[in-house]
Structure 1
């Protein structure tokens, strides 16, 4: 692959900055990569190679040979156990995503994906979107099961992508939460951001993104409550964070404060959370369409036990 070369004058705002820090700001690369480029002689100022700690002068001419682009992520085409197709036509494919399956490939994820599973099953997916996310208009966490829609056509992709952006898609989940929410039905309107001390977790934070969750009780048990949840927004871990914030975490979700003993008794090895229904305007017919996904065996078993 040929390497891209950037030529540009040093702007006033970067005058006096170290080469590695300035390149990071200017080109959006990490300081480590910028330092490596300088060490390899790939950073020239007015035609002469400079070191990572040299300071830049305003108005001088910068020539940077960028690193080779990373290989694009491509989905591994493989049969995915439990990936049931609930509905398909020329515009959309709706699946019941099992737990432990990602929507699409990401850096560091070696496991199965919805995109790879559909390709192995012979489905054509829209070519719109980044290479590793072709046809993907929404995501479900690896640890959450349930209904997910994928675009099969270019029209399906553009219409559904816009519908998710405009929040006209109705996303309904069922969650088994600890204790009994008070009131039985309610709305949680609280911003969500990265947890201040644990970056892999999320929390209600004052500077987080706007997030609204509506819930209502379906069935109450002595130790837990089955609730139906509808989302106005789609933040990462939104239901898990919001239910935890009102002191009723999803059963089987120790990351957000659930009781491991209860999860053990119900045979749960993940949070009891399932995307049960998706409603949207069909991109081909223009009709309102709802697709439902039945509970997987592990969640149904836990519910049967808690009922007893």
Structure 2
């Protein structure tokens, strides 16, 4: 059941995790921080971080997650490791793989595979998300960086926060985009009409996506997208917002679309500074076979 609280004058400027820990006495502050990370807490309909400073009149909504004992076991699942050293890994995640376990996906995730592959991973995001610095959706393929220790995790998270990590995607969208490049600057938050979706809302967080046309087809466009921010479902939401939804997207796309299972979206490249060596790192992978097949079919 969703509960609400309106921030009072005496509560303003308090961190949201501290405020909720005082309201929900049966749960620890660290548990509430996990709720916030797992999208169980919203302020004025939008996601926030644990260090968000509350303002008078803010409406805080939270849903207590079901108490399930989630045991995360190492699993011998093949991983495509693009790069690895003592500090980090860069993984090419296949389409269809969930990044971390949850009640709906307790096994077969990237984290299960990482626990088998690695002797150690960072613990900043808790026991359920060891090593995970950022995520990509289940049906989005491509690159993400994993931290082996907390020092590397902090450095990479700071680079993400400061927009110093360059992430580029390839996408196939419905419709023919006439201009060569574009910028979508529209705030993203929880959809007020469907809490399972994200959307462009006035109360959302600042969100910026750049794109350029790679090739046009009869009814579709092949794009390269660059993330300036990293909101949940950002590219999918932004492309829907400008009425060029991603092909195959079951949540934000069109009912009549290309014959694929999930959105045609691939995280093709990532660039960052190495956490300890301070060297510029760049990695790029080709689109997977299903994506290549779609492009070949569109050529016809």
What TM bracket, shorter-length normalisation?
A: 0.7 to 0.9
- How far 1:237 moved relative to its partner? 0.7
Gaps of 5+ in 2: 1-9, 11-19, 28-65
Gaps of 5+ in 1: 1-12, 14-22, 31-68
- How far 1:196 moved relative to its partner? 2.0
Partner of 2:265: 273
Instruction: Measure the CA separation in 2 of the matches of 1:74 and 1:165.
Output: 30
Q: Which of 214, 220, 230 is equivalent to 2:216?
A: 220
Q: Which of 198, 201, 206 is equivalent to 1:202?
A: 198
Q: What is the DSSP-based 3-state SS (H/G/I as helix, E as strand, rest coil) of the residue aligned with 1:284?
A: coil
Instruction: Measure the CA separation in 2 of the matches of 1:202 and 1:122.
Output: 33
Q: Does 1:103 align with 2:102?
A: no
Say whether the 8 Å CA contact 1:76–1:112 is kept in structure 2: no
Q: Which digits, 9 at most, give the CA deviation of each residue in 1:83-127, with x for residues without a partner?
A: 311111111101111122222222332342212112223453234
Q: Which of 255, 258, 270 is equivalent to 1:263?
A: 258
Q: What is the DSSP-based 3-state SS (H/G/I as helix, E as strand, rest coil) of the residue aligned with 2:258?
A: helix
Partner of 1:76: 73
Q: What is the DSSP-based 3-state SS (H/G/I as helix, E as strand, rest coil) of the residue aligned with 1:148?
A: strand
Partner of 2:23: 26
Cα 1:281/1:74, change in 2 over 3 Å: farther
Instruction: Measure the CA separation in 2 of the matches of 1:148 and 1:216.
Output: 22
Say whether the 8 Å CA contact 1:188–1:214 is kept in structure 2: yes
Instruction: Measure the CA separation in 1 of the matches of 2:96 and 2:72.
Output: 15
Instruction: Measure the CA separation in 1 of the matches of 2:91 and 2:281.
Output: 14
Q: Which digits, 9 at most, give the CA deviation of each residue in 1:243-276, with x for residues without a partner?
A: 011110001114213252x312xxx111000100
Q: Does 1:148 align with 2:161?
A: no
Say whether the 8 Å CA contact 1:75–1:104 is kept in structure 2: no
Say whether the 8 Å CA contact 1:76–1:113 is kept in structure 2: no
Say whether the 8 Å CA contact 1:189–1:212 is kept in structure 2: yes
Instruction: Measure the CA separation in 1 of the matches of 2:261 and 2:138.
Output: 13
Cα 1:88/1:27, change in 2 over 3 Å: same
- How far 1:28 moved relative to its partner? 5.5
Q: What is the DSSP-based 3-state SS (H/G/I as helix, E as strand, rest coil) of the residue aligned with 2:225?
A: strand
Instruction: Measure the CA separation in 2 of the matches of 1:177 and 1:235.
Output: 19
CA RMSD of aligned residues (A): 2.4
Instruction: Measure the CA separation in 2 of the matches of 1:259 and 1:114.
Output: 29
Say whether the 8 Å CA contact 2:97–2:110 is kept in structure 1: yes
Cα 1:182/1:121, change in 2 over 3 Å: same
Instruction: Measure the CA separation in 2 of the matches of 1:154 and 1:257.
Output: 38
Cα 1:180/1:106, change in 2 over 3 Å: same
Flag the structure with larger Rg. Answer: 1
Partner of 1:130: 126
Say whether the 8 Å CA contact 2:87–2:149 is kept in structure 1: yes
Instruction: Measure the CA separation in 2 of the matches of 1:206 and 1:215.
Output: 22
Q: What is the DSSP-based 3-state SS (H/G/I as helix, E as strand, rest coil) of the residue aligned with 1:168?
A: coil
Cα 1:166/1:198, change in 2 over 3 Å: same
- How far 1:153 moved relative to its partner? 2.9
Partner of 1:9: none
